[in-house]
Structure 1
Amino acid sequence: MARPWETEFGAEGGLYRRLRAACASDWEAYTWHPFVRAIADGTLPLAAFRRYLIQDYLFLIHFARAKALAVFKAEGIQAMREKTEGIAAILSETTMHLRYCAEWGIPQDEVLATPEAAETVSYTRYVIDRGLAGDILDLEVALAPCTVGYAEVALRIENDPKRRREDNPYESWIATYIAPGYQALARAAAARIDTLGASHGGEARFPMLSAIFSEAARLEARFWQMGLDAARGATPEYEKVHR
């Protein structure tokens, strides 16, 4: 019997589910990473979450740039309008993210002064590079592991028997991605990939699209790992460079 998060996004036989299935081990390593499991049971060290929060803000800046590229790559005025609305939403989210960081004891000045981690650089530049080199389908496939993956992560957490619901310090983070609005956004992103796959030769291009999707999933897992490394006292790559 299929689990809820396996059938919630994309159509059966559609491009999105095929991409997900083709990188099953990488996808599992990303969506059920030890970082995610520790959020579910509330045991994630604060140092790990703080590192993640700061880098996620820096990630959002480049995510907005990738969405701006999607406006340029879009093939119709309605799609351009939708992408423009998405950019506005992300830019608004950056402001909310700074407030959220403050709630966790991270002042805005600290967030803005922190350099991008190597994991942030490698992931964001990969997505933008795929968009620059390819068409709208390449870009949407590179973006999907983030947009749809976070919705799946939230569903997995909600269905986890070890899920801690009372006094979980990460409850507000979980609530953001399990919210109906975010889940709907993720379903729309998966459906868009199915549609673009049908109109942009997804079948013939599957090997390359699968490689893009798989690499983005691996980069997402490394982003989680970056947070865990902070809790273990590992020196971030950007600090090594600046020493």
Structure 2
Amino acid sequence: MGQTKTFTNIIPADSLFGKLRARESDAWQSYVCHDFITQLGKGTLPQTSFKHYLIQDYLFLIQFARAYALAVYKAEDLPAMRQFSATVHAILDMEMSLHLDFCKEWGLSEADIIAQPEARACVAYTRYVLDRGLQGDVVDLQVALMPCMVGYAEIANRLMASSDTVLDGNPYRAWIEMYASDEFQDVAKAEIDLLENTSAKRGGHTRIDGLCQTFAMASRLEADFWQMGLDLAK
């Protein structure tokens, strides 16, 4: 499909994220290889499912910004604070606007979106992330956030590399290409590097068992976010 490298090539196996991904591979695969993604890649995903996902993803971003604002508070050095702060700015001032522009192409206005309640799957994952951040340190929070930040990059990369993916005539092509872009792939790599830097100060590699539990739960909650869309079509 035009991409020869795989996303896993840029993940150091001995990095904290690499270890988490390897040790919790079942939970991770349930998320990045979910049937919602398979159908999206083939262009067969019901559009009602995708529109519901778009609405909930915007509501998700509101809570996501709050989580990164908490990371600014939890960070222990200025470089990390600045990087987390930049992410808050990117979500509130850029990503949400781009998301609304994308939603307009699907006939959804901001008023349509914010009038909708958060789905249980959205509440479950976002509040879990915030809870891990409140109860733990910055590493606990980052690990809970990683499935979203890094997972989308791997998902899009997988789709672009898969012979099963159909781009011509696929109504979801723009979504796939957005997350497969070099810009987003670089964002994901920066998140992996930042986790490695912050965990070095907090003994992340020595806390791997507890962090694996957080990573697995966050990955499965992300999988539930996909399932939320599919359940509409049943």
Task: Give CA-to-partner distance per residue, 1:115-170, whole Å, 9 cap, x none.
Answer: 00000001000000000111111111111010001000011101111110211110
Q: TM-score, length-normalised on structure 2?
A: 0.94
Task: Give CA-to-partner distance per residue, 1:65-122, whole Å, 9 cap, x none.
Answer: 0000011011112222221111111012112212211110122221010000000001
Q: 2:109 aligns with which of 91, 103, 107?
A: 107
The aligned residue for residue 42 of structure 1 is: 43
Look up the equivalent residue of 2:91 and give its one-letter code: I
Give structure 1 stretches of 5+ with no counterpart: 233-243
The aligned residue for residue 13 of structure 1 is: 14
Task: Give CA-to-partner distance per residue, 1:217-241, whole Å, 9 cap, x none.
Answer: 0000000000111122xxxxxxxxx
Correspondence 1:1-243 to 2 at 5 A: 4-9=6-11, 11-91=12-92, 92-232=94-234
Task: Give CA-to-partner distance per residue, 1:31-90, whole Å, 9 cap, x none.
Answer: 010000111111111011011000000000000000000110111122222211111110
Look up the equivalent residue of 2:30 and give its one-letter code: A
Look up the equivalent residue of 2:158 and give its one-letter code: R
Query: How many Å separate the matches in 2 of 1:160 and 1:54?
Result: 27
RMSD of aligned C-alpha atoms? 1.2
Task: Give CA-to-partner distance per residue, 1:188-232, whole Å, 9 cap, x none.
Answer: 111222223332112321111000000000000000000111122
**Bigger mean CA deviation after superposition, 84-93 or 49-58:** 84-93
The aligned residue for residue 240 of structure 1 is: none
**Bigger mean CA deviation after superposition, 138-147 or 193-202:** 193-202
Query: How many Å separate the matches in 1 of 2:33 and 2:7?
Result: 12
Give structure 2 stretches of 5+ with no counterpart: none
Q: TM-score, length-normalised on structure 1?
A: 0.91
Contact 2:80 2:194 in 1 (8 A): no
Contact 2:7 2:157 in 1 (8 A): yes
Query: How many Å separate the matches in 1 of 2:193 and 2:37?
Result: 25
Query: How many Å separate the matches in 2 of 1:37 and 1:228?
Result: 11
Aligned length: 229
Q: Where do 4+ consecutive residues of structure 1 move more than 6 Å?
A: none
Query: How many Å separate the matches in 1 of 2:199 and 2:114?
Result: 38
Query: How many Å separate the matches in 1 of 2:212 and 2:98?
Result: 33
Percent identity, please. 46
Q: Shift in Å at residue 14 of structure 1?
A: 1.5
Query: How many Å separate the matches in 2 of 1:196 and 1:73?
Result: 11
**Bigger mean CA deviation after superposition, 24-33 or 197-206:** 197-206
